[in-house]
Amino acid sequence: MKKIALIFGGPSGEHEVSVNSAENIAGNLDLSKYEVHKIFVSKDKKFQFLPDDKKLVLPEAIPKIYSLEFNVAIIAIHGEFGEDGQLQAILDSIDLPYVGSDMTASAAAMDKNISNILFEKADLNVPSYIVFSNKEISDLRYPIVIKPVRGGSSVGTVILKDQAGLSKALEEGFRYDDRLMAQEYVFGRELTCGVLENEKGESFALPPTEIIPQKEPFFNYSAKYTPGGSREITPPDLPDQQIEELQGLALKAHNILGCKGISRSDFILSGNKWYILETNTIPGMTKTSLIPQEANAAGINMSKLTDILIQSALNK
């Protein structure tokens, strides 16, 4: 029986999503194969080894994780600390295998400026953008998207049609990061595509999903996590050739960043041109999240999905 550390929570604005992801993962792990230990990380980065209510600071938590002799860690922390390479570096230091990408790939994917540079060098289309770290920004061409450089679940992301809401958008964005990105708003269809690894460590793309927000102008936090906030069509109503193109682009993004185990890349299809927006190395795993939905469309239920992810970590 494999001993699993399921680490969730964390300090980011995606804290509640992480809790829900962990709940869904834990509820679908085969308890005949896995002994699951839940480790909750509070918003101030204190570690709680459930059901114990004692909270440990990081220098106390690391030796305890090491002493418990886990076989694999499943990192379910989205955003800061879990998805940006910090926790990966900690687990590497104690030689504990974990699901997903290493410190370098995680940090590169989390930083939209770095990932965009890598995407452009590999000839992927990226909407034009600038990165800035103060509120004195001008000469922007609207419509634009203002978003934190290091963020996820569209937290702190705002679409502006004109300059009227700029000040408020900057104030909101700087709550989550000290660098913001102003990016060209590309009109088109929103699609996303996950990537997993098989038993041989070979990456493969899942059936993609088209996202049609129902109440919001784009697939923001509310659209993602409010029931009825969006329509998600898996696979999308596209010709087979375009579906294959999208899957190829998702695989390319996964490999460019050096991702392992799992990723999900988001795209806009404008006319017949694909634009990549970002790659997530720890995508949501809630009951309504996109990766479980895409996996299910490929005949992979949530229990099998967790098996695949754990095996990918053991194969590293």
Q: Which amino acids are annotated catalytic? A: 14, 153, 289
Residue 296's closest CA among 234, 227, 225?
234
Question: Annotation-wise, does 202 bind a ligand?
Answer: no
Instruction: Find the angle CA(73)-CA(105)-CA(179) to the nearest 5 degrees.
Output: 110
Distance between CA atoms of residues 6 and 14, nearest Å: 17
Residue type, 101: S
Question: Annotation-wise, does 71 bind a ligand?
Answer: no
Stated as kind and residue range, the H or E segment containing 302 is helix 302-315
Distance between CA atoms of residues 58 and 187, nearest Å: 44
Max CA separation in the chain (angstroms): 60
| Long-range contacts (CB closer than 8 Å, 24 or more residues apart) made by 36-39 | 36/4, 36/6, 37/3, 37/4, 37/5, 37/6, 37/68, 37/70, 38/6, 38/8, 39/5, 39/6, 39/7, 39/8, 39/65
Distance between CA atoms of residues 107 and 103, nearest Å: 6
Sequence-distant (≥ 6) Cβ neighbours of residue 200 within 8 angstroms? none
Question: Annotation-wise, does 278 bind a ligand?
Answer: yes
- Residue 137, classified by CB atoms within 10 Å of its CB into exposed (0-12), middle (13-18) or buried (19+), is middle
Instruction: Go through 12-24 and write b for each residue having 16 or more CB atoms within 10 A of its CB, e for each that does not.
Output: bbbbebbbbbbbb
